[in-house]
Structure 1
Amino acid sequence: MRDEEEIREQYEFLKEQLESDDMNHQGIREMFTHYKRALGWTLEEEYI
């Protein structure tokens, strides 16, 4: 299981990526990969 700090770090990373001027098609795909990972960690914490 992931700890809250790890999830918060992932969230901050995603937030920075979305605010970046370099966000392009590939950047968006990578961002969603990180988002899905963070969401999975959160759901794992809630249901286990």
Structure 2
Amino acid sequence: MRDEEEIREQYEFLVEELESEEMSHEGIREMFTYYRRALGWALEEEHM
């Protein structure tokens, strides 16, 4: 299992990618949104 710091780094990277102008294709944006949610849920479960 990845440590929390690595997961947080990936989460922040995805947030930046979603906000960038290059992420204009809706299918890619949707995929990253789902992945970002999954990472968020993983982080929440670690702290419950």
- TM-score bin, normalised by smaller chain: 0.5 to 0.7
Unaligned runs of 5+ in 1: none
**Cα distance, 1:34 vs structure 2:** 1.6
Spell out structure 1 runs of 4+ moving beyond 6 A: none
Answering whether residue 27 of structure 2 is matched by residue 26 of structure 1, we say yes
Q: What percent of counterpart residues are identical?
A: 45
Deviation of 1:35 (Å): 0.8
TM-score (norm 2): 0.63
Which has the higher relative contact order, 1 or 2, with Cα contacts under 8 A spaced 6 or more apart? 1
Over aligned residue pairs, what C-alpha RMSD do you find? 1.8
Equivalent residues of 2:11, 2:39 under 8 A apart = yes
Query: Aligned partners of 2:37 and 2:43: how far apart in 1?
Result: 10
TM-score, scaled to structure 1: 0.63
